[in-house]
Every structure is written in structure tokens, then in C-alpha cells.
Amino acid sequence: MSISTIIIAKNEAENLKISLPKLHWCKDIVLVDDNSTDETIKIAEQFGCRVFTRIFDGFGTQKQFAVSQALNNWVLNIDADEVLTDELIEEIQILKLNNEISGYELPIRHVFLDKIFKYGKESRYYHLRLFNKLEGNFDSASVHEKVILKGNVLKLQNVILHNSYKNLDHYFEKFNRYTSIGAEKLKEKGKSRNLLMSIVSFPIYFFKHYILYRNFLNGKAGFIWSYLNAWYHVVKYLKLNELNNK
């Protein structure tokens, strides 16, 4: 069985020290770096990655390039802050990859403030992460990219752990970037929301994340996550309001 793993990165040295050791079984690891200023490239090369430098122009196109550099037809896509569990590694290694199956969806568990979320929206879904590049590839979306694939797709049982944020400082760094991207996408679609509705929607979003998505079962970390995500939606629409008024 031959699989290439692809990773896109920028200043991910600390995460790569955790994620790359779990790829010891993979003989071809492609890392596409967006001009990192930390030791990302050094760490990647220490673990045998083939490193390519490419200016980031969107998640979809960056991953399309990574796929094009893969030596094998079967491609495993992971983020730099994701870690394969030992059980998942074993499950992947015994797969009989053939032309009857085009891809596999993997469950991903959200990790926040050192808590593995067994519940919540972020830990609910399967994601298409292992696929045959002859049958499809990523779309060109700038964010929330996905694989467009022909053929049959199966689900694997064991999980990837997604360490999305190192700490709250890191959360708010991403918070600012993604709320801006989200607002721009909404503006492109012609969406609008007045200032008052943007602000009073906070309790609705909190109820959705904390109760409906069952983050209350994730303890203290689940409460904090729900609270912050409610503000995420509010700020995204406040930024949209600002863009529409320019």
C-alpha cells in the first residue's frame, strides 16, 4: 500500500513536532510552506518531508498544488495541527486500496483547552481525507475547501485529533482572520444584517452551540467554546455591516 500525505503550513513548527512522528509509516510526505519564519521547514525536513514553498492564495488552491506533488495516487490530507491516533494508523495500514473505492471519510475530534470533545458540532462529522487523486481533487475555495470526488466513499472508525488552538491568544488570532474572511464571503453573496440584529443574535448562537450541539457535555471547555463561537458569529456580521457601509 502506497499513500502520500499532504500538509500545508505556515509557522507550524511546534505542531509539526507532534503531528509528524505519527506519520512514520508514510514514505512520502509533501509539505507546502507559505514562507514560514519559524523552524517549520527545518522540522519538516528532519522528519523526511519533501518541502515546497508556495505563497498562500487560498486553502483550495494550496492543497491542489500539494496533491499535484504527491508521488502516489492515494493521498491523505491532514492539517499541521492534526494528530493521527494509533488506532487510526493501524486501520489505514490494513486497508486494501483498489479501484472499487475512491475515498475514505475520517472522523475528527475537536481538541480545545486540552479537552478532547466527544460531543459538539466540530466532533460530529466525517471528513473526506483519504482519496484517490485519479478520481478527484480539492475545489478552489479560498476557505472551507472540500474534495470533489467520483466513485464510492467509505467511512473509517478511528479518529484524528484536531488541536485547533494552542491557547486563547492563538484562538483570537484565528478569530480575527476568519471573521474577516467570513464577512467578505457574505458580502460577495450580497448578504446583509443590520447592526441591532447582529448584536442581539448572541444568545441565539450561544444556545445553538451550547445546548443544541451538546457542548454542555464537554464540561468547562465546552462552555467556553460555545461562548466564544457565539461572539464569532456576532463579530462576523458586524464586520459585514462595516463592509456594506463603506
pLDDT along the chain (246 residues), means of 10: 94 96 97 97 98 96 98 97 97 91 96 94 92 96 91 96 91 93 92 88 96 96 97 95 89
For 165-216, the pLDDT digits (tens) are: 989 998 999 999 999 999 999 999 999 988 888 889 999 999 999 999 999 9
Q: Where are the beta strands (DSSP E) in the chain?
A: 3-9, 28-33, 50-53, 74-77, 82-84, 103-112, 115-116, 126-132, 136-138, 147-149, 153-155, 160-163
Amino acid sitting at position 114: D
pLDDT of residue 164: 84
Read off the pTM: 0.85
Which domains does the chain show, CATH number per domain? 3-163 (3.90.550.10), 168-245 (no CATH)
pLDDT at 1: 65
For the chain, the straight-line distance linking the first and the last C-alpha, in angstroms and rounded, comes to 55
Question: Do 127 and 55 touch, CB atoms closer than 8 A?
Answer: no
pLDDT at 142: 86
pLDDT at 244: 92
Residue 195's nearest CA partner among 245, 145, 230, 152 is 245
In the prediction, which pLDDT does 234 show?
A: 95
Chain centre to alpha carbon of residue 238: 25
- pLDDT given for residue 196 in this prediction: 87
